[in-house]
Amino acid sequence: YRNNEALSQSDLKKLIVGMDAFMDDREQKMTEPMLIGSVVDTILTGAEGDFEETFYLSNFPKPSDTICEILQEVLSRTADKSLPLEDNIEILGQVINEVGYQARWKPETRINDLLKHTGYYQSLQESIGKIVISEEQSQIINTLVESLRSSLVTESLFAREKYVNNPKWDIYYQLPIFWTMDGIPCKGLLDIVIVRKNDDGKVIDVIPFDLKIIMDKLLSFHNNVRLRRYDIQAAYYTDGLLLAENLPFEVTKENLRNFKFVVGSVANTGKVLICEASDDLLEVGRVGMPELIVEDRLIRQEILGYKNLLALYEYYQTQGWQEEKILYDNDNFLTLEWEKLYGNKV
């Protein structure tokens, strides 16, 4: 899936920011919320062995982000990755100076402070090629996994054994789908799809889910949807299922149910939530909303849906990815108002 160059919803959403954001191929730094969500997702919906192949569980507390950055940089610079931290004092001193760590301390004091974390450095050595999970993060992850597996609301989504040899129910985890829209190759990766069949084997329900872990309280998920444009993901995957080729089950407008999000919260540990995308939300994710002007004041800027973004992608493909659309179309001459910059050409 990842090697396929078709357009994913996460890449497509970068065009909301602009052409430069889409063209930026730098690897996104994994924040702690992203890490926790990725691990929970892998444990609950990944294949056997995925967790061990991707992650490494450290038995040592995770230091501050700055110290982690220093230790990771020392490891990357040393020729012999097996040498303990105390045998890389020269490199450690160089990195400390470059980062500017505790600049008012004496050099030996700074080095001794870093040497308190030899255990974590050993974890980095043992986890080369993997992502390190600290003890604290592991406790949070285990609590989230247990709550999702045990809650009456969600336990059936992760009880794989219930679907084995069950003629009326199938469940698919990490299901890749591929389709073409307006001549553009598209792709999606669905966390969970449940398929229900009647006695004759005809599909009567196709129910897609995506697992989300948030750091805030459960009811703040609505804000996350708007901030991260999960409406686009829901609409993109919904329409993708209807257009996808070579699926192991039949999908029609009649049997496809509204997209759902399974939400776990670090702030509300032990509680879970299922949110179903309404038809209206899916339509916003699909075609967006126009700007709202009341009494000559801009109340809401235009909100783009995935179809608008596909048209923008096609525009840049034709343009050759030379310059941001608003600059290119207006010869770099814009009107400045309080709410935004406007183009002048029609």
Residue 314 makes CB contacts below 8 A (sequence gap 6+) with: 182, 183, 184
95's tokens: 């990195």
Tracing tokens 């048209």 back to the chain, one arrives at 311
pLDDT (average), residues 119-128: 91
| pLDDT, average across residues 147-158 | 95
pLDDT digits (tens, 9 = 90+) for 202-220: 999 999 999 999 999 999 9
% of the chain beyond a pLDDT of 90? 77
Distance CA 269, CA 147 (A): 8
pLDDT at 339 over 90: no
Q: Which residues contact 180 (CB under 8 A, 6 or more apart)?
A: 186, 243
Q: How far is CA 96 from CA 48, 61, 83, 137, in A?
A: 40, 20, 18, 26
| 167-191 tens-digit pLDDT | 999 999 999 999 999 999 999 999 9
pTM of the full predicted structure? 0.83
Q: What is the pLDDT of residue 122?
A: 92
Residue with tokens 């990815």: 321
Pick the range with the lowest mean pLDDT from 16-25, 112-121, 170-179: 16-25
Asked if residue 282 has pLDDT above 60, the reply is yes
Which has the closest alpha carbon to 238: 202, 205, 206? Answer: 206
C-alpha to C-alpha distance for 344 and 90, rounded to whole angstroms: 59
For residue 135, the model assigns a pLDDT of 85
Residue 311 has pLDDT above 70, yes or no: yes
Is it the case that residue 313 has pLDDT exceeding 70?
Answer: yes
Query: From CA 107, how far away is CA 116, in angstroms rounded?
Result: 15
Query: What is residue 346's predicted lDDT score, i.e. its pLDDT?
Result: 42
**Rounded to whole angstroms, what are the CA distances from 24 to 11, 19, 32, 218, 232?**
10, 9, 22, 32, 21
- For 129-141, the pLDDT digits (tens) are 898 898 889 999 9
Q: How confident is the model at residue 345 (pLDDT cuts 50, 70, 90)?
A: low
The whole-number pLDDT of residue 32 equals 85
Structure-model confidence comparison of residues 341 and 244, the more confident one: 244
Task: Return mean pLDDT, the chain.
Answer: 92
Which of the four pLDDT bands, split at 50, 70 and 90, describes residue 30? confident
Mean pLDDT of 49-58: 92
pLDDT of 269 higher than 90: no
